[in-house]
Amino acid sequence: MGKEHVLREVREAERSVREMLEEAERERDSKQAQARREADRIQEAGFALIDKEIDDEFQGAHSQTRRLVEDRIEQGRQQVDQSRRDAQGNLTQAVDRLVEELESSIVKG
C-alpha cells in the first residue's frame, strides 16, 4: 500500500466520521424537538385538566351559593308571611279591644 492509498483511506474515514457525527447531531436535534413538543402537549393537557377542575369547583360553589340564597329568601318570605298573619290576627284583637273600650267609655260616659 502506498502513501496515497493510506491517505485516501484516512480521508475517507474522516469523512465517514464527520457524516456520522452530523447524523448523530441531526438525530439529537430531532429528538430534542420531539421531546419539547411532547412536553408542551403534556403541559397543555395538565393546564386543561386544572382549568376543568377549577371550573367544576367554581360551578359547584356557585350552585351551592345560589341554593343558600334561595333558601334564605324563602325563609324570609315565610317569616314575612307569618308576621303578616300574626299582625292581621292582632289587628282583629286590637279592633275588638278598641270597640270594647269605646263601648265602655260610652256606657260610663
pLDDT in tens, 19-75: 999 999 999 999 999 999 999 999 999 999 999 999 999 999 999 999 999 999 999
2 φ, ψ to 5°?
Answer: -90, 170
Q: What is the DSSP letter of 109?
A: -
Q: Is it the case that residue 108 has pLDDT exceeding 70?
A: yes
> pTM (2 decimals)?
0.53
Predicted local distance difference test score (pLDDT) of residue 109: 64
Separation between Cα atoms, residue 8 and residue 15, nearest integer Å: 10
For 16-46, letters b (16+ CB in 10 Å) and e give eeeeeeeeeeeeeeeeeeeeeeeeeeeeeee
Could you identify the residue written with the cell 290576627? 89
Percent of the chain with pLDDT over 70: 98
Q: Which residue has the higher pLDDT, 69 or 2?
A: 69
Q: Which residue has the higher pLDDT, 85 or 28?
A: 28
Q: Which of 36, 60, 56, 38 is nearest to 48 (CA)?
A: 56
